[in-house]
Copies of this chain bind each other. A is one copy, B any other.
Amino acid sequence: MSQRKASGDVGRATIRDVAERAGVSVASVSRVLSGNYPVSEDLRRKVMKVVRDLDYVTNAHARSLAGGGTPTVAILINNITGAAFAHVAKGVEGAATLRGWLSLVGTTGDDPERELALVNLMRQQGVAAVVLLGGAYDYDEYQLRMARFARSLDAAGSHLVLVGRPPLEGAVPATTVDYDNEGGAYAMASHLLSAGHRKVLVLPGHAELTTAQGRLSGARRAFEAYGVPFEATMVRHGPYDYEHGYAAVGECLRDGLDFTAVLAGTDVVAAGAMQALRAAGLRVPEDVSIVGYDDIPLASQLTPQLTTVHVPYEEMGRVALRAVADRREGGGARRKGADGDHLVLGTHVVVRHSVRPPAPPR
C-alpha cells in the first residue's frame, strides 16, 4: 500500500503537489518560481494559478539545503529594551530587509553561557553573519573568547561583527564597527570645562565595561588639556541605568561633595541624576549642569532637554550589515586582507538646555 500522501493531507503543500496539479514537472515549477531560467508564458500562467490556489510557499529549509536560500543575519543583544541597542538593531534589520535578507534576534542577558549557546545556535542556522552588540566586559579571557567565536564562525562560512566595542587584537577574522567613544567624551567634557565648570561629578559606568573605560579616559584627557586636576573622588562607577544615576547623585549630595556639573555615562543615568538633584531641591541647569551620552530620544524629552553626545547607532547598524554584504559579494577574493576590518564612525556634541556656566562660588 502506498505510504505517500493521502489526498486530503493537512500538511503543507510541496512543490510536487503543485507540479502534479498543474500537470507539469517538478523542475518546471522550480524554474517558474526562481525565475532564473526561461519558461513559456503559458507554463508560467498554469503554474502560478496553482500556486495561488494552493497558497504554496517554498520550504526555506529545503531550499537552503539545496544551496539557495535567503541569507540571514543574527543580532545578539544584551537587552532588547535598551534604547541604544534597539536603534542599532533597527539599522541592521532595515538594511537587511532592503537586501531581502532575514534577521534573527537573540538576547544574551549579559550571560557568557547564553552568549556561547547563541553563537552555536546561529552557527547551526548557517547565518551569514553574527552581529554582537554593545560594550564588552574587559575580562582577561574576553579576547580569547571572541577570537574563538570569530574563527569558529569563519570556518563555518559565517562571519563575526562586533558593534560598539573595541576591535580584536591580532589576525582574527572579524569586523568591528565602532564609534569615536573617547572623542565624544573628550568633546563633552570640554564643553563643560569651557563653560567654566571645574568641579564635575563623573558617572562613567561600570569600571570593567569597555564603553565606560573609553568615556572615562576621554573625559580625563579633556581635563588634562584644560589643566584641571582630575580627582578620583569625583568618579562614581555603576551600571548604566536610571537607578544608579539617582543613587549616585543622592549619595554625593549627602556626602557633601562639592560639584557644579554632572558628566553622566549615558542619557538614562543623566535622567536619574537629574531627578536626584530635583529631589534635593536643586535646579537644573541653574544650580547644577548635566550632560549625558548616546542621544537617545529620552534626551530631548527630559526637562530641560539634555545636552549630550550623539552616537549614530542606527547608522552603525546599517554600516555593519553593509560590511557583511560587501564581504559576501566580494567572495573569497579578498578574504585574506579582510581580516580585522575596523570601521569607526564619528560622534558629536548636541547642545540643548542642560548646561549653564557655574554659579559664582558659594
Which residue numbers of A lie inside 8 Å of B, CB to CB? 10-12, 55, 57-65, 69-70, 79-81, 83, 86-87, 89-90, 93-94, 97, 102-107, 114, 120-121, 123-126, 152, 155-157, 242, 268, 271-272, 274-275, 278, 297-298, 300-303
Query: A89 to chain B: which residues have CB within 8 Å?
Result: 80, 105
Known: A60-B124, A275-B301. 18 other contacts (CB 8 A): A10-B157, A12-B155, A55-B152, A57-B120, A61-B62, A61-B125, A61-B126, A65-B65, A80-B89, A80-B93, A89-B105, A90-B107, A93-B107, A104-B104, A104-B105, A242-B301, A272-B301, A274-B303
Q: Which of chain B's residues has its CB closest to A297's CB?
A: B242
Query: A297 to chain B: which residues have CB within 8 Å?
Result: 81, 242
Determine whether the beta carbon of B275 is less than 8 Å from that of A123. no
Q: CA of A303 to CA of B55 in the docked complex: distance in angstroms?
A: 53
Query: A298 to chain B: which residues have CB within 8 Å?
Result: 298, 301
Q: Which of chain B's residues has its CB closest to A75's CB?
A: B105
For chain A, what secondary structure do more than half of its interface residues adopt (helix, strand, loop), or is it mixed?
A: helix
Q: What are 13 A-B pairs with beta-carbon distances under 8 A?
A: A59-B65, A60-B121, A60-B126, A61-B61, A61-B62, A61-B64, A65-B65, A80-B90, A81-B86, A83-B83, A102-B104, A103-B104, A242-B300
Instruction: Determine which of B81, B87, B302 lies in contact with A90 in the assembled complex, contact meaning CB atoms within 8 Å.
Output: B81
Instruction: Determine which of B12, B64, B79, B86 lies in contact with A80 in the assembled complex, contact meaning CB atoms within 8 Å.
Output: B86
Instruction: Please give the distance in Å from A95's CB to the nearest CB on chain B.
Output: 11
In this complex, the member of A79, A157, A303 whose beta carbon has the largest number of chain B beta carbons within 10 angstroms is: A303
Q: CA of A61 to CA of B103 in the docked complex: distance in angstroms?
A: 16
Instruction: Please give the distance in Å from A248's CB to the nearest CB on chain B.
Output: 15
Instruction: Determine which of B58, B157, B275 lies in contact with A303 in the assembled complex, contact meaning CB atoms within 8 Å.
Output: B275
Query: A87 to chain B: which residues have CB within 8 Å?
Result: 81
Query: A268 to chain B: which residues have CB within 8 Å?
Result: 301
Query: A79 to chain B: which residues have CB within 8 Å?
Result: 90
In this complex, the member of A57, A58, A94, A107 whose beta carbon has the largest number of chain B beta carbons within 10 angstroms is: A57
Determine whether the beta carbon of B124 is less than 8 Å from that of A57. yes
Determine whether the beta carbon of A301 is less than 8 Å from that of B271. yes
Instruction: Determine which of B10, B58, B124 lies in contact with A58 in the assembled complex, contact meaning CB atoms within 8 Å.
Output: B124
* 6 closest residue pairs by CB, A with B: A60-B124, A105-B105, A61-B61, A271-B301, A12-B156, A61-B65
Instruction: Please give the distance in Å from A307's CB to the nearest CB on chain B.
Output: 16
Determine whether the beta carbon of A126 is less than 8 Å from that of B59. yes
Query: A271 to chain B: which residues have CB within 8 Å?
Result: 301
